[in-house]
Structure 1
Amino acid sequence: MEAVMRLARERGVVIFTKSSCCMCYAVKILFHDLGVNPMVHELDQNPEGREMEKALMRLGCTTPVPAVFIGGLFVGSTNEVMSLHLGGSLNPLLKPYRALS
């Protein structure tokens, strides 16, 4: 669990994903379209990925990926991120982490 939390704090926006997950891809594209360059950790390409998945589940992820952290805090998975986006609450959370144009 400590490794996941350490990685989640290493950048403003962090996403734990799997390279073969279409929902992970959709969330990554959303963040890029919103002008954010998240730190992405592909669990299926990490030797400790299985343990990280278990830690994410203990944090409350209903599905282990994608798991989105903003400002070091767990936001949720696809449903939570899309709900925030559609409700207009995601942009204010991301404002400090937008790439400079």
Structure 2
Amino acid sequence: MGVSEADQLGGAKFRRQVVIGPYIADFACRTPSKIVIELDGDTHASQQSYDADRTHYLEDRGYRVLRFANRDVMQNVDSVIATIAAALSTPLRG
């Protein structure tokens, strides 16, 4: 029997394409941790101001925003999962 990704991430359940206010998060875990994961492709280099506004909005609502480049997900998924797992196990300071 294999270990699921949810088990690897402390049982956290992420949903895809989650509406939060005026934004759609790529992935979000509302409980137990409020974490948003954004996957950034090449187009994000030209929209840094928009991304900063979006991150600020989400953080103001208690979310921790993790951004990963698409190439990192494709080439180094173990590191991406480790980063998410670390964020899930570290309480947000508020």
- Both proteins in one fold, TM over 0.5: no
Q: Which has the higher helix share?
A: 1
Asked which structure has the greater CA Rg, the reply is 2
Q: Which has the higher strand share?
A: 2
Tell me the TM-score normalized by structure 2. 0.29
Q: Which has the higher contact order (CA 8 A, sep 6+)?
A: 1
